[in-house]
Structure 1
Amino acid sequence: MLTQGSTKVFKTRPGQRLARTHTSSETDLTSQHLDVQVSPGSALILLPDPVTCFRSAKYNQIQKFHIAEGSSAVLLDWITSGRKSLGEEWVFSRYYSLNELWVDGKRIARDPLLLEEDSNPIESLPTRTLEDRLKPYSCYATILMYGPSHLSYNTKSSFGIQ
């Protein structure tokens, strides 16, 4: 599975949409949930473009992968620093991603990532912004691999599963 472009997370503008009836800051975020079942003897290769959070964006992502014994998975989850060309480098409010890998009903991997501006800094330590903590990097990525299949490169410049 591939995507045709990055997942873009815009900032929330409370009260800007006529259909919006709530004002809680807890609901002022973008959420995405993915729950995948991989059949026995199958392989899932998930290689999406990265998530890109714009200024002041709040994002939650929960991804659960249920793999049958004997199946394989290659899972990529990654985030960019934002729109660098607009000066939006690591200036989103919150990014939370949780990836879980289950094999025959047993969780074998759980990978949470929380990137958030410090709302309650420890007074004895100097205050550092999210940008200060994450630079000089422009991208963070996690790759989970499981199963008997392996990728091979052939002379025709394409990847395949053997």
Structure 2
Amino acid sequence: MGARTVVSTALAHSPMRLLTPRNHGHAAWVYTSLFGDGLVDGDHLSLEMRVAAGATALLSSRGNTRIYRSPQGCRSVLSAQVEKGALLVLVPDPTTCYAGARFEQHQDIHLAPGASLILMDLVTTGRRATGERWDFAHFSSALRVSREGRALFDERWLLDPAQGALSERLGRFDALGTVLLVGPASAAAREALAERLGTLPVTPGAPLVCSASPIGSDGLVLRAAATSPELLMHTATDWLSFLPALLGDDPWAHGN
């Protein structure tokens, strides 16, 4: 059996806990889980992680991150250091903001030379079964990826009804997402995905709209808007269908 990455230290405080399930691959897996099934007014999550040189780590979640009505707002901050030759796979389930929710998310990821990042970031509309469609009060998401102090990717999403009714602005779409692939670990997958998405036709009224854009010499960003959260999740996991072979186990086959 080859080298295997292990979790050397894990510490969490309420409302978050960290689960480190065993798997059949060589990577260390960490899942976040929230007490109470979501974030309520005033909750502030702060997560720091380091992936040591040559190691492989997967960070995911147990179910959607639900943001409940929160007049004062909720916040989540992730800071990750990925050292030389290491790989971080960051693939949480979607963020879902309910009516009246206010949420800010910041992700700051630092890559050393030769380090790799595979990231999935999805946001979906609220409780569709009760008629909610983008009824939250505020959502912002900032993602910054740097290598040796230089920004590779720096982006912020802002969805706020102050700029106009969200359900009208987003039209038929109920889910938005980004998949980011950087570094040598995903080189073959990036090439295949860029070619595949580059040949897709543009169809008016399609349930799924997606695009692919290069980032420097060793990165690719994939974006999608879908008419349902299920379609978006299916699309994103299909794009990442190379992960089981890369990790030695399938992170979506265990039902979280």
Please give the TM-score of this superposition, normalised by the length of structure 1. Answer: 0.79
CA distance in 1, matches of 2:125, 2:76: 19
Correspondence for 1:12 among 54, 70, 73: 70
Cα deviation per residue 1:70-115 (whole Å; 9 max; x = unaligned)? 0100111110011101111110011000000010111111010000
State the AA in 2 paired with 1:78: L
Given the alignment, which residue of 161, 178, 194 partners 1:142?
Answer: 178
The number of residue pairs the alignment matches comes to 138
> 1:10-159 to 2 correspondence within 5 Å?
10-12=68-70, 28-118=72-162, 128-150=164-186, 158-159=244-245
Q: Higher relative contact order at CA 8 Å, sep ≥6: structure 1 or structure 2?
A: 1
- CA root-mean-square deviation: 2.1
1:139 maps to amino acid: A
Would the aligned equivalents of 1:60 and 1:97 in 2 still touch at CA under 8 Å? yes
Q: Do the aligned residues in 2 keep the contact of 1:118 with 1:130 (CA within 8 Å)? A: no
Instruction: Decide which structure has the larger Cα Rg and report it.
Output: 1
User: Higher helix share goes to which structure?
Assistant: 2
Between the aligned residues of both structures, percent identity stands at 29
Q: Is there any run of 5+ residues in structure 1 with no aligned partner, and where?
A: 14-27, 120-127
One-letter amino acid of the structure 2 residue matched with residue 11 of structure 1:
R
Amino acid of the residue matched to residue 156 of structure 2?
Answer: P
Assess if the C-alpha contact under 8 Å between 1:31 and 1:61 holds in 2. yes
Alignment partners' CA distance in 2, 1:5 and 1:41: 30
Cα displacement string for residues 129-156 of structure 1 (whole angstroms, at most 9, x for unaligned residues): 11111121111011221101127768xx
Cα displacement (A) at 1:118: 2.1
Q: SS at the partner of 1:160?
A: helix
- CA–CA distance in structure 2, aligned partners of residues 56 and 159 of structure 1: 41
Structure 2 unaligned regions, length at least 5 = 1-58, 190-240, 249-256
Measured in 1, the distance between the counterparts of 2:94 and 2:113 equals: 29
* Alignment TM-score, normalising by the size of structure 2: 0.51
